[in-house]
Amino acid sequence: MRVLVTGGAGFIGSHVVAQALSGGHEPSVLDNFSTGKRENVPPGVRVFECDLRDREATARAIREARPDVVSHQAAQASVPVSMKDPRLDAEVNLLGGLNLLEACRASQVKHVVFASTGGAIYGEVPEGERADESSPCRPQSPYGIHKLAFEQLLGVYASAYGLKSSVLRYANVYGPRQDPHGEAGVVAIFFNQARAGRPLQIFSRRASKDGGCVRDYTFVADVARANLLAMTGAVPHPLLNVASGQPTTTLELAQQILALTGSTSPLVHAAPRLGDIERSLLASQRFEQTLGTPTPLAVGLAETARYYLEQ
Ligand code: NAD
């Protein structure tokens, strides 16, 4: 199968490319290298250096790549950046996405798999609950709004033009190759700090030293596997949470990372951060029925530790 991965030079996209290769498929990459890196793309994989905001270049790349299926990972992927520059977020995530859909339609691509977000679409998840695929959507940032709008556009392209789509709503993804210098990615930031012996900062959830916000940390290999299965048509659901379903506080995460790296970095508690969702936790039943048990945090962190300790 010919697979085009947009954002294939980025953190998650590069794992989709790697799994596509080892699954015997023929991947290519479309990326503008704004956050992606050339060394993330395996040798021999064709790269279309292209910005999705460029309509003509996007159409040309899809014409040349002739993919059967597109895994759409490219995005302005930061919530804080979307707050500071909502227009940029709309240009990349909405208009760039539309350029991709128009190009897919013109080149008779059969199927698009979309990297959406659970955390930024479901918003605050009350204590004792998990957000499942039918939970209300309460996006609170331009990033979440544009991701949700693009999901809905995919629905229009499916019903009006027969372009099949699968929406994957990721929880908080972590693993090798995540950039510790980006806006998000607390796991990568903590590994980086721990290795350098610098403090790990725990932003409180509400009150001082309360352990911080609760997140659903999901290993990148599970996310790539979900993409591969969706691309081959083996996910029977048009919408799927890609999540572990396990709650972890920032403090618990920091402690596990210190133990894995043998670091003596201090833990520093800080005031709650404006705009942070206190509790984000997704239901993983549908994921488990389709893909089996998600990778436990201890296992995924151990693999991630090996990667950062080798850097
Ligand atoms: P990333 O920044 O590592 O990857 C994004 C890739 O897209 C990069 O290679 C970048 O160069 C490319 N890109 C950005 N703008 C582009 C443009 N205009 N044209 C072409 N390429 C462009 O981020 P990531 O964490 O790997 O995220 C991948 C996808 O998963 C994104 O769609 C993101 O919104 C989504 N997501 C990520 C998480 C997470 O926890 N990392 C959670 C939910 C959803």
Half-sphere exposure of residue 51: CA atoms within 13 angstroms, side-chain side: 9
CB-CB contact of 212 with 250 (8 Å): yes
Whether 96 lines ligand 1, by a CB cut-off of 6 Å, is yes
Whether 112 lines ligand 1, by a CB cut-off of 6 Å, is no
Whether 77 lines ligand 1, by a CB cut-off of 6 Å, is yes
pLDDT for position 275: 82
CA distances from 270 to 206, 254, 266 (A): 11, 14, 13
Task: Work out whether strand 248-249 and strand 214-215 pair parallel, antiparallel, or are unpaired.
Answer: antiparallel
Q: How many angstroms is it from 243 CA to the middle of ligand 1?
A: 17
Whether 16 lines ligand 1, by a CB cut-off of 6 Å, is no
Greatest CA span in the chain, whole angstroms? 58
Whether 251 lines ligand 1, by a CB cut-off of 6 Å, is no
For residue 26, count other CB atoms closer than 10 A to its CB.
Answer: 15
Q: How many angstroms is it from 80 CA to the middle of ligand 1?
A: 14
CA 131 to chain centre: 17
Cα(142)–Cα(184) distance, rounded to whole angstroms? Answer: 16
Q: How many angstroms is it from 174 CA to the middle of ligand 1?
A: 13
Cα(183)–Cα(187) distance, rounded to whole angstroms? Answer: 12
pTM above 0.95, yes or no: yes
pLDDT for position 182: 66
Q: 10-residue block means of pLDDT along the chain (311 residues)?
A: 98 98 98 97 98 98 98 96 96 98 98 98 97 97 97 98 98 96 85 96 92 97 98 95 98 98 97 91 98 98 95 85
Where are the strands (E) in 224-266, listed by range?
239-242, 248-249
Whether 173 lines ligand 1, by a CB cut-off of 6 Å, is yes
pLDDT for position 207: 87
Cα angle 200, 273, 248; round to 5: 60
Task: Work out whether strand 217-219 and strand 267-270 pair parallel, antiparallel, or are unpaired.
Answer: unpaired
Atom index in ligand 1 nearest the CA of residue 40 equals 9
Atom index in ligand 1 nearest the CA of residue 12 equals 26
Q: How many angstroms is it from 173 CA to the middle of ligand 1?
A: 11
Cα angle 132, 135, 140; round to 5: 110
If we measure between CA atoms, which residue out of 125, 186, 115 comes closest to residue 146? 115
Whether 175 lines ligand 1, by a CB cut-off of 6 Å, is no
If we measure between CA atoms, which residue out of 9, 5, 6, 71 comes closest to residue 40? 9
Task: Work out whether strand 200-203 and strand 164-170 pair parallel, antiparallel, or are unpaired.
Answer: unpaired
pLDDT for position 14: 98
Q: Strand 26-31's sheet: what is its strand order?
A: 46-49, 26-31, 2-6, 69-72, 111-117, 164-170, 239-242
CB-CB contact of 223 with 231 (8 Å): no
Determine which residue's CA is closest to atom 6 belonging to ligand 1.
7
Cα(268)–Cα(272) distance, rounded to whole angstroms? Answer: 13
CB-CB contact of 244 with 287 (8 Å): no
Show which residues are catalytic.
143
CB-CB contact of 244 with 216 (8 Å): yes
Determine which residue's CA is closest to atom 1 belonging to ligand 1.
10
Cα angle 13, 179, 69; round to 5: 5
For residues 116, 10, 102 and 67, what is the CA-based torsion angle, rounded to 10 degrees? -110
- Ligand 1: residue of 12, 41, 76, 116 to mutate (most ligand atoms within 8 A of CB) is 12
CB-CB contact of 184 with 77 (8 Å): yes
Cα angle 211, 207, 141; round to 5: 80
pLDDT for position 181: 79
Whether 7 lines ligand 1, by a CB cut-off of 6 Å, is yes
Determine which residue's CA is closest to atom 21 belonging to ligand 1.
31
